[in-house]
Structure 1
Amino acid sequence: MNMTKKEALAFLALHQPMPNDYDITQEFIDKYDDIRLYFCANPTEEAIPLFLQSFGEGNGLGVYQLVEDFLFKCDKNIVVSNIASILENPLTMESVRYWCTLLAMVFADNTLIKGLNISLQSDDEDTRDMAMLSLKMIM
């Protein structure tokens, strides 16, 4: 798929978050995946917070797990800083909190402790479990 950086960033900005799995079409998630692949080939710092806040309920038909491929191409400190900002915001929506808490295991860093402690208070059991595991990896 041919697209520009501006078009890819605009798509992500418009879908904060993506639709829930039961509302998403294969065509729509394929476009999201095309954008993920675009940024894997053309990493840019601007896309980091947009991807991190794009996670809707569910797993994006299997594509959300692949977002870390893009994140690995970015500066780890910038990724961690963005994850920390999202986790430290008590108003972060649950689906975004879950995925960012999960990513905290992959990008384990002391600066994530405060946000992970907020995730420990989540109403969602999976988010709490991921927060506990992430904290164990950091400490």
Structure 2
Amino acid sequence: MFDVGGQRDERRKWIQCFNDVTAIIFVAASSSYNMVIREDNSTNRLRESLDLFRSIWTNRYHLCDSVPQQTGLQAGRLFPRWTRVSVPDVGEDPKVTRAKFFIRDEFLRISTASTDGKHYCYPHFTCAIDTENIRRVFNDCRDIIQRMHLRQYELL
């Protein structure tokens, strides 16, 4: 397992880590929707994440990979003026829900634009303290490996 980060100037170094991988876990911070990357102070961070995801998804060397894609979402960052005490029984603010699904759909648009049935995208919402999310990601990784083996033996 490699954590390659997302810095532009390091991409040439870590792109080699993706040779012969079964899955790529791509994490995008939706809370940085209104921030710019540090390399040029003008490119939107979320747009940069989408562009990087697209380049990884469509890379000819990775066409058999699958990508469990996570979007880290913090409601306070999405809507700085929006404040609410987090109570599990109370539903999420509709604005936050719409923003989450808009961002998720942007990633899914990329992943379905070139769907060939050889690789899959499994989107998840998470935050730094969501321990259950890791279980879902590992289950998705298991599904990816099972699909790969079933395809290899022509059972799928």
Higher relative contact order (CA 8 A, sep 6+): 2
- Superposition TM-score, scaled by structure 2 size: 0.33
More helix by share: 1
More strand by share: 2
- Superposition TM-score, scaled by structure 1 size: 0.36
